[in-house]
């Protein structure tokens, strides 16, 4: 039996293979955009109806190397998770485990310390104002955590999860920490993560000029947010699909 055939058979036997592929692609592209933090950030994706069984990256593996087969399958309700020989990072378990237990609408969770979102999280006012179309996407759709209490071990993770109870809130600016984005699918969540970082970059660079900001009226910002929420083309899915095609053309191992 050829090596290629063995690899294909191994992939076909992986539970939730397509979900794994999408998540692995998101890891690879996040690394390419330099939005990761060494081996310290985590993505997760619920795979069952109630959202408590989820895929997540293994402990201390760089985003640029993660493959579909590397992803851990975790039960948020299993108190012995951290006793596993392949136990996840304890802060990943604390934060993502709590969110998947408490917030069924948070099917996919992405947490990074991307530069511009973290700069926003470091300001006294970490709210993102609607100064352009990208930032208007997040008008009244993000929450700021002002009570950072240290690394996201279980107690801190539980506290953070309570801030995501409103399904309309898709982004949490984690004050003094970074950003966390939720969504229904990998594509939906990654697209939102990408645009939030872009919006933060525009805002931070606008602040650098020292000149007055052109802030959109609330009614216009809300209109933009609604229009993007109801956009007639599945742009997020197309975005991730194009990234996967690029990775495939380059011979990436993310599908393995």
Token pair recorded at residue 254: 């993310």
Phi, psi of 57 (to 5 degrees): -70, 145
**Per-residue CA distances from 251 to 63, 171, 224, 244, 246 (Å):** 17, 33, 38, 11, 9
In this structure, is residue 254 part of a structural domain?
Answer: no
pLDDT of residue 233: 81
- What are the tens digits of pLDDT across the range 8-55? 555 668 999 999 999 999 999 999 999 999 999 999 999 999 999 999
pLDDT of residue 232: 83
In this structure, is residue 178 part of a structural domain?
Answer: yes
- What secondary structure letter does DSSP report for 83? G
Name the stretches of the chain with pLDDT < 50. 1-6
- Using DSSP's 3-state secondary structure scheme, residue 112 falls into strand
In this structure, is residue 65 part of a structural domain?
Answer: yes
CATH code, domain with 154: 3.40.225.10
In this structure, is residue 256 part of a structural domain?
Answer: no
pLDDT of residue 5: 40
In this structure, is residue 110 part of a structural domain?
Answer: yes
In this structure, is residue 74 part of a structural domain?
Answer: yes
pLDDT of residue 140: 95
In this structure, is residue 255 part of a structural domain?
Answer: no
As for how many domains the chain has, the answer is 1
Instruction: Tell me the residue range of the domain where 240 lies.
Output: 3-249
């Amino acid at each position: 039996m050829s090596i290629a055939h063995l690899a294909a058979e191994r992939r076909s036997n992986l539970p939730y293979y397509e979900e794994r592929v999408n998540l692995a692609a998101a890891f690879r592209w996040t690394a390419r955009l330099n939005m990761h933090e060494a081996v310290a950030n985590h993505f997760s994706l619920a795979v069952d109806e109630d959202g408590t069984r989820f895929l997540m990256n293994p402990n201390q593996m760089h985003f640029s190397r993660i493959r579909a087969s590397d992803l851990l399958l975790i039960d948020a309700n299993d108190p012995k998770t951290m006793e596993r020989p392949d136990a996840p990072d304890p802060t990943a378990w604390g934060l993502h485990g709590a969110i998947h237990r408490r917030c069924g609408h948070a099917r996919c969770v992405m947490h990074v310390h991307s530069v511009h979102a973290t700069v926003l999280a470091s300001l006294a006012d970490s709210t993102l104002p609607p100064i352009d179309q990208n930032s208007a996407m997040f008008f009244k759709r993000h929450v700021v955590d002002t009570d950072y209490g240290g690394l996201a071990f279980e107690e801190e993770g539980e506290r953070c999860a309570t801030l995501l109870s409103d399904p309309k809130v898709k982004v949490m600016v984690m004050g003094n920490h970074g950003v966390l984005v939720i969504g229904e699918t990998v594509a939906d969540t990654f697209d939102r993560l990408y645009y939030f970082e872009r919006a933060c970059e525009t805002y931070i660079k606008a602040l650098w000029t020292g000149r007055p900001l052109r802030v959109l009226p609330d009614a216009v910002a809300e209109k933009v947010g609604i229009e993007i929420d109801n956009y007639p083309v599945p742009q997020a899915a197309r975005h991730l699909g194009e990234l996967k095609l690029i990775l495939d053309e380059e011979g990436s191992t993310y599908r393995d």
